[in-house]
């Protein structure tokens, strides 16, 4: 029987526990979230009817600072998924050493079936429901799957009205007009390109000779592809979304493809073509592309024990959260493939979210070059630490990242003690 998403988290935690020699009590604390809130939101639909939506906000560990993590709107959102994502956020913030704990939120909804008015009313109700446990010094949400800067602006407004004062620092990923940060929109994709750059350096590979396949072509996969191509010079030979896999051995024009999907009502690649391109109906075909580097940038559990043996890429950089299961990890390890884990590779978004939060607290804002330079310093240092620790302990990059993150969390837990 396949493991649940949270069982995947626990499997990695156990491996890190053995390396760090954690005591059972500390390990038990890390295995469960501090707080989990389930909410139900009645929303008046455009036709006058009332529909009730279920949502969650989970705070995994706040020993190092306020909770931090996005809010996703998706029909498959459930408690197990949100709990897992909250834990990953704890480790992600730990590995890049920013003063946050981990949290995550989600609403079970098909956003394609909502009007903009219905979406706004749902967002405002969700914000009101979780308001008691969020705040600039408590827990700071951000965009995630199917949420955006516009939705963050609605959250800021709702929270500010409820508290009686303007509080832009309650969420990050906001539009610039609502005190967002320059560089935030492309931060996750830029972080991916930095992780790829650092990996290729250590493998002594010339980026201009490297071929890449990218699964998922939304904000992370699309902007990540553009930045990898423009900044590093790698050749993106395959991209995909739910409409299929788009393969071009001569290299996909990723900027044109992203512009095409941006103009599509549903932000999809459907109908995109260019000279030399072949479309394959199966969206997962991209995973099996013959290439040097695979970048999964879709949803979790895409590479499993059932299909890990089909992966032809020599190296993998996880742009999505949890795209590789624990069982698949072992198969890829035995095959000699290098995997740069999600909690390191896609930490660019939360890092620049931290920068946005700092700017909100100070009321002083940085240039885009300052933001990008600070991101590069953070991501490069985190990659270097993980790479060296992995080599020192003869463990995978994933377990090295978990160990470094958990060590920082545990140090904070032990320094603060347990409140009785």
Dist. CA 269–CA 273, nearest whole Å: 9
* Closest listed residue to residue 199, CA positions, set 350, 314, 347, 371: 314
In angstroms, the first-to-last Cα distance of the chain is 40
Q: How many residues does the chain have?
A: 420
Dist. CA 225–CA 198, nearest whole Å: 16
Dist. CA 191–CA 355, nearest whole Å: 14
Indicate the helix (H) or strand (E) that contains 386: helix 368-393
Residue 353 · residue 196 · CB < 8 Å: no
- By DSSP bridging, strand 67-74 and strand 139-143 are parallel
Largest CA distance in the chain: 67
Residue 31 · residue 25 · CB < 8 Å: no
Burial class (CB in 10 A: 0-12, 13-18, 19+), 148: middle
Among the options 68, 104, 174, 337, which is catalytic? 104
* Closest listed residue to residue 191, CA positions, set 354, 351, 28: 351
DSSP helix/strand/coil, 249: coil
Dist. CA 316–CA 203, nearest whole Å: 13
Dist. CA 333–CA 343, nearest whole Å: 18
- The verdict on whether 104 is a catalytic residue reads yes
The sign of the CA dihedral 231, 233, 238, 243 is: positive
Dist. CA 170–CA 357, nearest whole Å: 8
Return the exposure string of 196-224: e unless at least 16 CB atoms fall within 10 Å of the residue's CB, then b. Answer: bbbbbeeeebebeebbbbbbbbbbbbbbb
Residue 267 · residue 218 · CB < 8 Å: yes
| Active-site annotation, residues | 104
């Amino acid at each position: 029987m396949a493991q649940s998403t949270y069982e995947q988290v626990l499997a990695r935690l156990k491996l890190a526990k053995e390396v760090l020699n954690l005591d059972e009590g500390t390990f038990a604390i890390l295995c469960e979230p501090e707080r989990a809130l389930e909410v139900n939101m009645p929303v008046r639909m455009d036709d006058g009817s009332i529909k009730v939506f279920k949502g969650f906000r989970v705070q995994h560990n706040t020993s190092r600072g306020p909770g931090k993590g996005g809010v996703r709107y998706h029909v498959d959102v459930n408690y197990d998924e949100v709990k897992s994502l909250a834990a990953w956020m704890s480790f992600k913030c730990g590995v890049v050493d920013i003063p946050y704990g981990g949290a995550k939120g989600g609403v079970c909804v098909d956003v394609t079936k909502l009007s903009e008015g219905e979406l706004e009313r749902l967002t405002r109700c969700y914000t009101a429901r979780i308001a008691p446990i969020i705040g600039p010094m408590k827990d700071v949400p951000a965009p995630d799957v199917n949420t955006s800067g516009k939705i963050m602006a609605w959250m800021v407004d709702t929270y500010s009205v409820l508290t009686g004062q303007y509080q832009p620092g309650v969420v990050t990923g906001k539009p610039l007009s609502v005190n967002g940060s320059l560089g935030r929109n492309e931060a996750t994709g830029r972080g991916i390109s930095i992780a790829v750059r650092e990996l290729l350096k250590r493998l002594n590979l010339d980026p201009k000779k490297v071929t890449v396949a990218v699964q998922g072509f939304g904000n992370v996969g699309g902007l990540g592809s553009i930045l990898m191509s423009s900044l590093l010079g790698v050749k993106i030979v395959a991209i995909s979304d739910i409409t299929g896999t788009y393969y071009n051995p001569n290299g996909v024009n990723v900027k044109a493809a992203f512009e095409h999907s941006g103009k599509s009502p549903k932000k999809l690649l459907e109908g995109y073509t260019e000279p030399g391109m072949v479309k394959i109906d199966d969206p997962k075909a991209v995973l099996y592309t013959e290439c040097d580097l695979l970048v999964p940038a879709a949803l979790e559990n895409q590479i499993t024990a059932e299909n890990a043996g089909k992966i032809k890429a020599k190296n993998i950089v996880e742009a999505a959260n949890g795209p590789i299961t624990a069982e698949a990890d072992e198969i890829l390890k035995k095959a000699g493939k290098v995997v740069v884990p999600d909690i390191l590779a896609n930490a660019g978004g939360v890092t620049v979210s931290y920068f946005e939060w700092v700017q909100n607290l100070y009321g002083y804002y940085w240039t885009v070059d300052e933001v990008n330079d600070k991101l590069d310093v953070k991501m490069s240092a985190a990659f270097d630490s993980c790479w060296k620790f992995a080599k020192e302990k003869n463990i995978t990059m994933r377990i090295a990242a978990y160990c470094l993150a958990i060590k920082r969390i545990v140090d904070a837990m032990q320094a603060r003690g347990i409140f009785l």
